[in-house]
Amino acid sequence: MSADDPLVRVDGLQKYFWENDSLLDRLFGDDPVPVRAVDGVSFDIREGETLGLVGESGCGKSTTGETLLGLQDPTDGRVEFEGENVYDLSGDDLTDFRRSAQVVFQDPFSSLDPRMTIGDIVTQPLSIHDWPWTDGDVETTVDVRTDGISRDIVTATAADDIDTVVDPVDGVATAHVTVRAIDDESAADVDADGRSVDLASGVVAEVEEDLAVAVDRDDGIVVRVSVDRSTAQLRRDRVTDLVERVGLSADQLDRYPHEFSGGQRQRIGIARALALEPEFVVLDEPTSALDVSVQAQVLNLLDDLQAEFDLTYLLISHDLSVIRHVCDRVAVMYLGEIVEVGPVDDLFEDPKHPYTNALLESVPRASTDERDRDRETLSGDVPSPRDPPSGCRFRTRCPKVIPPEDLEIEQETYRDLMSLRERVERRDVSLESVGDDGQFDLEDGVSDEKRPAFVAALKDRLLERDLPARHDEIVETALAELATEDWDAAAARLREHYESVCERKQPHLGNGHHPVACHLYGEASERTETPRSDP
């Protein structure tokens, strides 16, 4: 992997959950139905940055994170970590990836085993991956500095396994030792704990790393550096350090999860995720179950840990204030697809996609100056991922859906007509309740005499505003088809006149500094700037 390549690259990732796919369904000839939780997601994450993944609940954010890590089997697509396809890894390579990529789960209550102490919980990944690891190809050496003693009389050696404690650099694990002369009076003040300091006649040796040092004086001075701790003690020491680093204390290691608050449990989850020294961490809604004051503490902790351990984050959240506080870039997700990606400041100050703009409009403002601002609320509900809309998936709720090329119409009017079309196509109109009880007989079809009244009553129910004459005529003709319950003919007539490029063509995200998947920024953008209403 070159310096310019991202640490994580996601390309066309898909994750479908199948319904009607059991053996019994197959015997009866039922076709499997895909629930498209993640459908063609692509993004990059560079080393050391935090990418935020935002969107409404149910849009596929958490499934993306789980599939990216291999916790869910992908339906299609590719995920690269350090240039290698994660889904092609096996054996030791797959184990290395699992060590390097970890996750902090959303719910700090259910993600911890209630039968294990927190010491056991944080120790578990160390035991599973047989930590500490030593590499026979790593060279071990000692860098010796002297004070009041000639360097020529000092001989230093390091045990072969000190790389379990000291991170190798360019294939060499180096311990740093200072050897200095000391008189008998000063020797009493030296803390000779047998691990980082050792005394000999007139000599003290100190090692900077968390290792044991031994010094002997005969004809010369011999210094030996070693780990001098059992595997169990090494693990215990690492767990203690991690627990203290996330803001808990070592005397809490033997307590159980139910003895901690939500914020403390999330800190335990963070310590567990850091146990194997990962490079990349997926943070799946890490603060959503916490109080606001505790959220700030956990976010600041994550920020500090990222700087200290050189971590790369994928932060999944629906809380835009959290995203703005923590992230470098943001990817906005809607119904299984990425619709906009950009630097956090650019996206918050100049959102391009109508969905992103609607998300930002939903954020409460602290300033009273904005209490009277106009808010663009979204119409309708999120479509089902079992049967997502064609083209742009946001088009069924978009306040800026693009009219056909030959149709010059106000956006609000066109939005109403699109909503009417969608209801007719779904047959989501109760014809039996039109008019007074028994006014219209649908069983044999509404008579020609009563048809105008039926159309007027139905139009009054379905439309909130008067239409220009041309569109009023088209709608009345389509609704008249419903007098004989000919849904297909009504839908076809409305489609003929009001079909949008947003439903015919799927917009692509593209590349660049701030890409957006929206036809407003494609070929159709020029004619949507100054729409005119029909007479």
Q: What is the pLDDT of residues 259-288, one digit of tens each?
A: 999 999 999 999 999 999 999 999 999 988
Structurally, how many domains does the chain consist of?
2
DSSP state of 169: B
423 assigned to some structural domain: yes
Q: Above 70 in pLDDT, residue 534?
A: no
Are 376 and 497 spatial neighbours (Cβ–Cβ below 8 Å)? no
Q: Which residues pair with 198 in a beta bridge?
A: 205
Task: Report the range of poorest mean pLDDT among 58-67, 225-234, 316-325, 442-451.
Answer: 442-451
CB atoms within 10 A of CB 210: 15
Residue 409's pLDDT band, with cuts at 50, 70 and 90, is confident
86 assigned to some structural domain: no
Q: Above 50 in pLDDT, residue 329?
A: yes
Residue 139's pLDDT band, with cuts at 50, 70 and 90, is very high
437 assigned to some structural domain: yes
Residue where a domain terminates, one of 194, 214, 231: 231
pLDDT value at position 183? 78
Domain residues for the domain of 454 are 403-499
Q: What is the pLDDT of residues 278-314, one digit of tens each?
A: 999 999 999 887 888 888 888 999 999 999 999 999 9
26 assigned to some structural domain: no
- What is the radius of gyration, based on Cα positions, of the chain? 33
Closest CA to 493 of 472, 478, 480, 476: 478
Q: What is the pLDDT of residues 193-206, one digit of tens each?
A: 556 888 888 889 99
Residue 448's pLDDT band, with cuts at 50, 70 and 90, is confident
Q: What is the pLDDT of residues 336-351, one digit of tens each?
A: 999 999 999 999 999 9
Residue where a domain terminates, one of 231, 257, 274: 231
Half-sphere exposure (Cβ direction) of 88: Cα atoms closer than 13 Å: 8
Q: Above 90 in pLDDT, residue 517?
A: yes
- Backbone φ and ψ of 162, nearest 5°: -70, -10
Closest CA to 241 of 159, 149, 123, 349: 123
Closest CA to 224 of 172, 162, 152, 146: 162
25 assigned to some structural domain: no
457 assigned to some structural domain: yes
Q: What is the pLDDT of residues 12-62, one digit of tens each?
A: 999 999 887 666 666 666 777 899 999 999 999 999 999 999 998 889 999
Q: Which residues pair with 143 in a beta bridge?
A: 176
248 assigned to some structural domain: no
Residue 434's pLDDT band, with cuts at 50, 70 and 90, is confident
d(CA 223, CA 117): 40
Residue where a domain terminates, one of 212, 231, 250: 231
261 assigned to some structural domain: no
